[in-house]
Chains A and B, each alone.
Chain A
Amino acid sequence: MSQLEKSFYSKSSMYSFIVVVILFMSMWIGTGQFSHMDWMLFGYMVSSFIFFIGMTVRLTSWIMRPATHEVIKRSIQKMKSKNSQKRNGKAIFKTLIDNIILQKYIFKRGVYRGIQHWLIAWGCIGSLAITFGLTLGWMHFKLVDASTYQMVVFNIPTIQMAADGWLAQMFFEGLNITASMLLIGLAMAIIRRIRDKDLKVTQRAEFDLFPLYLLLAVTLTGLFLTVSYKLLGGWMHPQLALIHQITVVVFLVYFPFGKLVHLPMRPMAVSVPMNYQETPGVDTRDCSGCGELYSNDEQIEDVKAILGAQAFDLKNDEGDWLADYCPACRRKLRVMSQLNLPKGAGKAAPVQTNNGIHMPGFGRKRSEDFYQPAHSGKEEL
């Protein structure tokens, strides 16, 4: 691999090359040596290539960040390890169902947000799947006889269906269904962005609003196309098709570099139950200060490695690391060292307020005789 890497200018150019070759091969197979390319979709095809190259560059640079790299390294190690297979399977299954398919945690942030996000997410994924499937020639439909269509995936004939059956309808209306989902979700999101004042604090036009309006443009022009040929007898169809194509191209080119790139990054959430916490909220490692459970060994090891890789020196004078302490102990360590009462300086005593002078700091430990009963000193005199 390293030999191959040397032949390229950078990691991302290497991976982009590999991705392009794979895409090209898949097209070659899918379209039967380019025998049934849909040249109407040529513009979409070029932008799909740009999309995949952009995505590869973006994800490569993301994975090269020390933190991401470390977490992924740990995940791969877990995947390979024989005795954590059961845990891995459970983690992947649970993350897939709860986080990705049902998106339960977003519903907990609010039902409105949950519905909105679910509609946009699955509308997007569905539309992208259909778009790529058709433009890259991964699948197409063949008329077998007058009333039967057959779906051809990667040039392999698969299921047959009646041309007016519900399955065929589902396939042909696929983009309309996903577009309707998107439309509802987007409307909800835009209303939320307008109504919710808290969002305005950190919202950025180019990051939070642009993708929203861009998606809306794609969706609306797409739906108009359907309206045009179904209801208006093809009115303005070529112009609308061109506008739609432009919006889709902008969308595909933008996708890897904006907010929406969280879609391919999200599956990393599986590393949380797989690498670190088998059950959420259950810790197994104890703090070197107070002994309370606060994390687990693997995670602290990774955090130390990531910090070390970025030249953070968080070692205490005693030779242990800040990461060995629970968050509460760290807060205390910070206060105490700032007030010049580091570990081992003894107990903090109450601030003396009746000596006329305001003493900064929490005060020092009083000498032992302060704690003696008042008379004991007198008797000695």
Chain B
Amino acid sequence: MRKVMYLEFERCIGCRACQAACRECGGHDAKERNYVEYVDFFENRQTYPMLCMQCKDPACARVCPANAIQITEEGVVLSAMEEKCIGCRNCTFGCPFGIPKFDFEENKMYKCDMCYDRTQHEIAPMCASVCPSDAIRFIDHDEMMDLRRRRTQMNLIEGKKPSENNKWDYVPEFFGVYSD
């Protein structure tokens, strides 16, 4: 897979289309797995979308006592295997980014799996395919590098120079699964 997820948090307009799309996805049981949240509700209406990072060495899988969280060969971190998950929620508390959700009724954990049914065929995940403001995109690795480069140039125009330990000042976040 050469495609990556590309997030520009500040582009988010808070329409929550991505969450609606996530609920529609097959097997999601009408429950969304992504988040749209306010940066600071009392100050302004800026929102940001949040998805699973599909970590290379996922903390969620490492803290699971049942060994229920599997990683596909492409590197997608899947929701817990239903027959193994014992419902302890260690994954929710182990994930550095607060992603895995838990269904107390059915006693199972569920999390963003980047719409593995779609992305394994290089089709954009549900959220990325509906985002009207391109805050969430599913793009080629090369296109992503290009966008980041342009972003850097933009920052230089604005007089922002990258400093040490501060690379995020000028590049948005990308993640996902790609072979390099």
Q: Are A339 and B46 in contact (CB under 8 A)?
A: no
Q: Are A108 and B40 in contact (CB under 8 A)?
A: no
| In the bound complex, CA of A222 to CA of B7 (Å) | 57
Residues of the A chain whose Cβ atoms lie less than 8 Å from the Cβ of B62: 66-67, 306-307, 310, 312
Query: Shortest distance in angstroms between A243's beta carbon and chain B's nearest beta carbon?
Result: 28
Smallest Cβ-Cβ distance to B42: which chain A residue: A347
| In the bound complex, CA of A276 to CA of B104 (Å) | 14
Would A357 and B98 be within 8 Å (CB), given that A67-B90, A303-B63, A338-B9 are in contact? Answer: no
CB of A348 closer than 8 Å to a CB of B: yes
Q: Are A67 and B64 in contact (CB under 8 A)?
A: yes
Residue in B78, B99, B173 whose CB lies within 8 Å of A202: B78
Stretch at the interface among B14-22, B79-87, B123-131, B136-144: B79-87
| In the bound complex, CA of A314 to CA of B84 (Å) | 26
| In the bound complex, CA of A202 to CA of B43 (Å) | 43
Residue in A197, A330, A338 whose CB lies within 8 Å of B173: A338
Chain A interface residue count: which class? 35 or more
Q: Are A348 and B40 in contact (CB under 8 A)?
A: yes
| In the bound complex, CA of A259 to CA of B68 (Å) | 11
Would A337 and B43 be within 8 Å (CB), given that A299-B90, A327-B98, A330-B98 are in contact? Answer: no
CB of A323 closer than 8 Å to a CB of B: yes
Residue in B9, B27, B65, B157 whose CB lies within 8 Å of A70: B65
Residue in A67, A201, A310 whose CB lies within 8 Å of B65: A67
Query: Shortest distance in angstroms between B66's beta carbon and chain A's nearest beta carbon?
Result: 6
Interface string of B47-90 (1 = CB under 8 A from A): 01010000000010011111100001000001000111011111
Q: Are B63 and A328 in contact (CB under 8 A)?
A: no
CB of A231 closer than 8 Å to a CB of B: no
| In the bound complex, CA of A108 to CA of B108 (Å) | 11
Would A327 and B63 be within 8 Å (CB), given that A201-B116, A262-B84, A306-B90 are in contact? Answer: no
Residue in A72, A303, A332, A340 whose CB lies within 8 Å of B166: A340
CB of B178 closer than 8 Å to a CB of A: no
Chain B interface residue count: which class? 35 or more
| In the bound complex, CA of A262 to CA of B65 (Å) | 12
Residues of the A chain whose Cβ atoms lie less than 8 Å from the Cβ of B96: 314, 322, 330, 334
Q: Are A358 and B154 in contact (CB under 8 A)?
A: yes
Q: Are A281 and B44 in contact (CB under 8 A)?
A: no
Query: Shortest distance in angstroms between B128's beta carbon and chain A's nearest beta carbon?
Result: 18
Q: Are A198 and B92 in contact (CB under 8 A)?
A: no
Query: Shortest distance in angstroms between A312's beta carbon and chain B's nearest beta carbon?
Result: 6
Binding site for A on B (CB under 8 A): 8-10, 26-27, 35, 37, 39-40, 43-44, 46, 48, 50, 59, 62-67, 72, 78, 82-84, 86-90, 92-99, 104-108, 116-117, 151, 154-155, 157-158, 166, 168-170, 172-173
Task: Across the A-B interface, give the 8 residue pairs with the lowest CB-CB distance, nearest first.
Answer: A327-B98, A198-B27, A330-B98, A105-B107, A201-B117, A71-B65, A269-B86, A350-B44
- Provide a sorted-by-A list of 17 A–B residue pairs whose CB atoms are within 8 angstroms: A62-B67, A66-B62, A72-B65, A198-B26, A266-B86, A269-B86, A272-B87, A281-B104, A306-B63, A307-B62, A325-B98, A339-B9, A339-B10, A348-B40, A350-B43, A360-B8, A360-B151
